[in-house]
Amino acid sequence: MSVIKTEHLTHTYSQGTSYEQAAVSDVSLEIESGEMIGVIGHTGSGKSTLIQHFNGLLRPTSGNIYVDGEDIWEKPKEIRRIRFKVGLVFQYPEYQLFEDTVYKDIAFGPKNMGLSEEEIDQRVKEAALFVGLKPHHMEKSPFELSGGQKRRVAIAGVIAMNPEVLILDEPTAGLDPKGRDRILGQIVEYHKERKNTILLVSHSMEDVAKYTEKVLVMNHSRVAMFDDVETVFSRSREIESMGLAVPQVSRVFLALSEKGWPVPANVYTVEQAKTAVEKILGQGGGANA
Ligand SMILES: Nc1ncnc2c1ncn2[C@@H]1O[C@H](COP(=O)(O)OP(=O)(O)O)[C@@H](O)[C@H]1O
Ligand SMILES: [Mg+2]
């Protein structure tokens, strides 16, 4: 059974006014438990609007959402339960830190779930470890931390709720490349260890190629593609036409393939490029053979 399923999900902001705007249109999809999915699309394509439906933060204008087979709006009073199951880290989550210590901020979610002090303590410590926060950070004010560290606190706060599905909305926006790779690497580790479902919203095809297994491409409020990484990259030209930049190595191999070179058109890592080049140079031989 899919962990998240939508049927004809549509969301229109300010319906019935002159500001009416369809942000998500007729989206039907199924996400299987344990998948690591990249959600990509140009700014304004509807990524944030779509994912905010998965934990009941937004209510669809029409259509349905199922979490673990349950229509989440059938009992609107129980929507809080869905928020514990599907954890969402907002874009720029550091603006939502408000407690006077890092520890209390991470503990906020688990506390709300009504867990015992002991269980909360264990979860806070585990979550902090996952995101690379050190024990000496825990009694600091979140406001004394660097941008990247604040981001880690916010992510830890959601991880501490141990959600079945973890959704991160552009978790590396505004971070330098080193901070970006560290956070994404930690998310991959978390996925490997917990085996839970992860949705990583990004506008970087490079990150999606590097860190996820399946890609959901949004374009003008609709799902344009939802497939494994290889298949999506075999449609690189279409992706570019949607205003998304594909990795440089993909562009080179796509051009070579279009010029008739016997190379795959869906290369997206340097490792794949190396293998393809070695193949042309003589079955893994080449200059060093
Ligand atoms: N709170 C809102 N009120 C009205 N329009 C919104 C709101 N949030 C987003 N939109 C509009 O909905 C569309 C999709 O936005 P969004 O879901 O934020 O896309 P993305 O996350 O892909 O950048 C955009 O046209 C955006 O301007
Ligand atoms: Mg967004």
Encode pLDDT of 110-155 as tens digits.
Answer: 999 999 999 999 999 999 999 999 999 999 999 999 888 999 999 9
Co-location of 70 and 143 in the same domain: yes
Co-location of 199 and 62 in the same domain: yes
Range of the domain at 278: 247-289
Co-location of 287 and 163 in the same domain: no
Total tally of structural domains belonging to the chain: 2
Co-location of 177 and 226 in the same domain: yes
Co-location of 267 and 156 in the same domain: no
What secondary structure, in 3-state letters, does 73-138 show? CCCHHHHHHHHHHEEEECCCHHHHCCCCCHHHHHHHHHHHCCCCHHHHHHHHHHHHHHCCCCHHHC
**Which residues, at least 6 apart from 3, have a Cβ–Cβ distance to it below 8 Å?**
31, 32, 33, 67, 68, 164, 165, 197
pLDDT exceeds 70 at position 286: no
Cβ 191 under 6 angstroms from ligand 1: no
Co-location of 205 and 227 in the same domain: yes
Cβ 51 under 6 angstroms from ligand 1: no
Cβ 46 under 6 angstroms from ligand 1: yes
Q: Which atom of ligand 1 is nearest to the CA of 203?
A: 22
Cβ 44 under 6 angstroms from ligand 1: yes
Co-location of 64 and 177 in the same domain: yes
Mean pLDDT, the chain, rounded, equals 93
Q: Which atom of ligand 1 is nearest to the CA of 169?
A: 21
Co-location of 119 and 105 in the same domain: yes
Co-location of 117 and 182 in the same domain: yes
Q: Are strands 21-32 and 36-41 parallel, antiparallel or unpaired?
A: unpaired
Encode pLDDT of 217-255 as tens digits.
Answer: 999 999 999 999 999 999 999 999 999 989 899 999 999
Co-location of 232 and 260 in the same domain: no
Per-residue confidence (pLDDT) for residue 212, from 0 to 100: 94
Q: How many other CB atoms are found less than 10 A from the CB of residue 57? A: 15
Encode pLDDT of 183-219 as tens digits.
Answer: 999 999 999 999 999 999 998 898 999 999 999 999 9
CATH number of the domain bearing residue 226: 3.40.50.300
Cβ pair 101, 139 in contact under 8 A: yes
Per-residue confidence (pLDDT) for residue 289, from 0 to 100: 47
Cβ 48 under 6 angstroms from ligand 1: yes
Co-location of 18 and 144 in the same domain: yes
Three-class secondary structure of residue 152 per DSSP: helix
Encode pLDDT of 5-62 as tens digits.
Answer: 999 999 999 988 888 889 999 999 999 999 999 999 999 999 999 999 999 999 999 9
Co-location of 77 and 185 in the same domain: yes
